[in-house]
Structure 1
Amino acid sequence: MGVKAGDHLTHINGTSVERESLQTILQKFDDLEHGRTFNITIERDDKSVTLESIVRATVVPGWRLEVDSTFEETAHAIQNASACGRVSIFLQPPVTRDYYPAFINTINGEDTRIKNPVIKLGVGEHIIGLHEKIGDPRATRSPSLRTEKLLRLVVEPNKKYHLAAHFIADKRYDRVNAGYWEPIVWKVTEHSCDPND
């Protein structure tokens, strides 16, 4: 448009803005319609200069991210435990490695279908039953063939085990015994755990 440092804005579309607040001036620009021609008059070096341009609106979509760090954690098999760890299905596993989300169906044979993505467990061995949620189009199968698979996990103190379903593309046609996937721990992180919390 040609505006330079030191220019003094005096008019927008012929209307004087010399005595207006910055908020009022910005509102005038905000009221301009996309694609329409507009002009401004400025004072530059003691001369009045009129500049003209076309309004180009930039739309920034609005979105909001809320993180609730106070979700209730589910505890399982930690009675009389002196230490604990966690299993989690909260993080999105890396699909580029054919790792997909899963949900926890059972722990040590007990039904645990809960919405909480993090479960606190006592230290020691646990058998975790997982169901796959593989979104790869190569993994076509009937919902009735989706079976629980067991993962034997030795939980250590202050560790968080991130669980997933590993899609085995070479076995994608092995649907009778669900050979197309296996439950895995795809990541282990340090995370303090107090069994009394």
Structure 2
Amino acid sequence: MKVIGFCSRMGTLTALTAALCISSAAVHAAGSQGVVAKVPSLAAQGNGALGISPEQRLHEELRLLLLDMIESGAFGQTPVEQISLSIDAPAERAGGLGLLVDSSSAAAAADGLHVLGVTPGGSASRMGLRSGDLILAVNDVGLAGLGADSAGRARAAERLREQVSELEDGAALNFRIVRAGEQTTVSGRMVSTWIPALHLTVGSGTAVASAQDAQGSSASSNLGCGRVSIFDVAPRQRDLHAAALISIDGDRSPFAGQTTFRLSAGHHVLKVAERIDGRYLGFNDRLRNSGPDSRYKTLSIEVAPNTTYLLAARLNKDQRNVWQDGAYWDPVIWSETAEACR
């Protein structure tokens, strides 16, 4: 199964759940699945409770989420007094499609994406999509027979997510579907929302799961600090794509799984790699990775205190066929957001 568009009004908690699971050094698969399974029920309880502020609701749901993680063994044998998580994420655009499809395997989506459910009141529901529908195409992009991704899941679900995420708010969204054995079309307009920037600290012990302090020495400057984020919310319609951070001022480690990097205010040099989907390029991966000049580029930035910088790879469309010297792309800071750093 796959939820398209971050599904429901639980976007903030869903993102928070994902961040907690990723940040935990020893999350067990069964435990993390259990956490995700409980999110909708917690949302239903919160929606039904009258007179509860957003802060109270988030606090209660976070408490239950942490309890589930501890009981499922997500923190291993770490004593509770030593558990410490530090999670930072920039403001994030979250599509509100609210659509659950079967992406379990290529076979499950051989004829298209089967709709398992829709969120009541969500965009998919308002457009008329229903459980049991078979989606053949979105905006004339076919979804049948696309095979499996590297993890064995239906590639069609990722194709649908890409098509939806690239649309601007208000853009037309058309689904060609099969319902009750007959083809028809349902349509509407793309609607999304923004999840605010997140700064969360859990516990007060020695950090066992957070990589946010990897740059601790540079972040301790008396000049203050800012952040650089590679969290991929870059708008494709502006030719902006995902990027990976290879090094900061020559320091390469540890970056695995990390999306936000705290830096001292001042000058920094970033070594960046592009993560542009191959379908946007006019050459194959062999040429793409044929030399270091095409794989990595450097970007110098001046970090201001209490500012988060969003990093992306910009596709130079007029040179999308030119792989030599990496002419087809450049690293860019595409957004700056005022956000407290401490």
Match for 1:60 among 117, 122, 126? 117
C-alpha distance after superposition, 1:74-126 (max 9, x if no partner): 34222443300000011410001110000100111121433110000001000
How do 1:24-173 residues align onto structure 2 when only pairs under 5 Å count?
60-61=117-118, 69=200, 72=210, 73-76=212-215, 77-112=218-253, 113-139=255-281, 140=283, 141-142=285-286, 143-145=288-290, 146-173=294-321
Q: SS of 1:87's equivalent?
A: strand
Measured in 1, the distance between the counterparts of 2:231 and 2:213 equals: 13
Higher strand share: 1
> Aligned residue pairs: how many?
133
Measured in 1, the distance between the counterparts of 2:335 and 2:328 equals: 21
Q: SS of 2:300's equivalent?
A: strand
> Structure 2 regions of 5+ residues with no counterpart?
1-114, 120-197, 202-208
Measured in 1, the distance between the counterparts of 2:338 and 2:214 equals: 18
TM-score by length of 2: 0.36
Q: SS of 1:177's equivalent?
A: helix
Question: What residue identity is the alignment partner of 2:270?
Answer: I
Measured in 1, the distance between the counterparts of 2:214 and 2:116 equals: 46
Question: What residue identity is the alignment partner of 1:144?
Answer: N
Q: Structure 1 residues 61, 153: closer, same or farther in 2, change over 3 A?
A: same
Question: What residue identity is the alignment partner of 1:60?
Answer: G
C-alpha distance after superposition, 1:114-152 (max 9, x if no partner): 311000000100000110000151313425235111010
> Structure 1 regions of 5+ residues with no counterpart?
1-57
Measured in 2, the distance between the counterparts of 1:180 and 1:91 equals: 19
| Structure of higher CA gyration radius | 1
Q: Is the 8 A contact 2:223 2:305 kept in 1?
A: no
TM-score by length of 1: 0.60
Higher helix share: 2
Q: Is the 8 A contact 2:245 2:271 kept in 1?
A: yes
Measured in 1, the distance between the counterparts of 2:333 and 2:116 equals: 42
Question: What residue identity is the alignment partner of 2:304?
Answer: E
Match of 1:186 in 2: 334
Q: Structure 1 residues 69, 91: closer, same or farther in 2, change over 3 A?
A: farther
Q: Structure 1 residues 59, 109: closer, same or farther in 2, change over 3 A?
A: closer
Match of 2:44 in 1: none
Measured in 1, the distance between the counterparts of 2:199 and 2:226 equals: 21
Aligned-residue identity in percent: 28
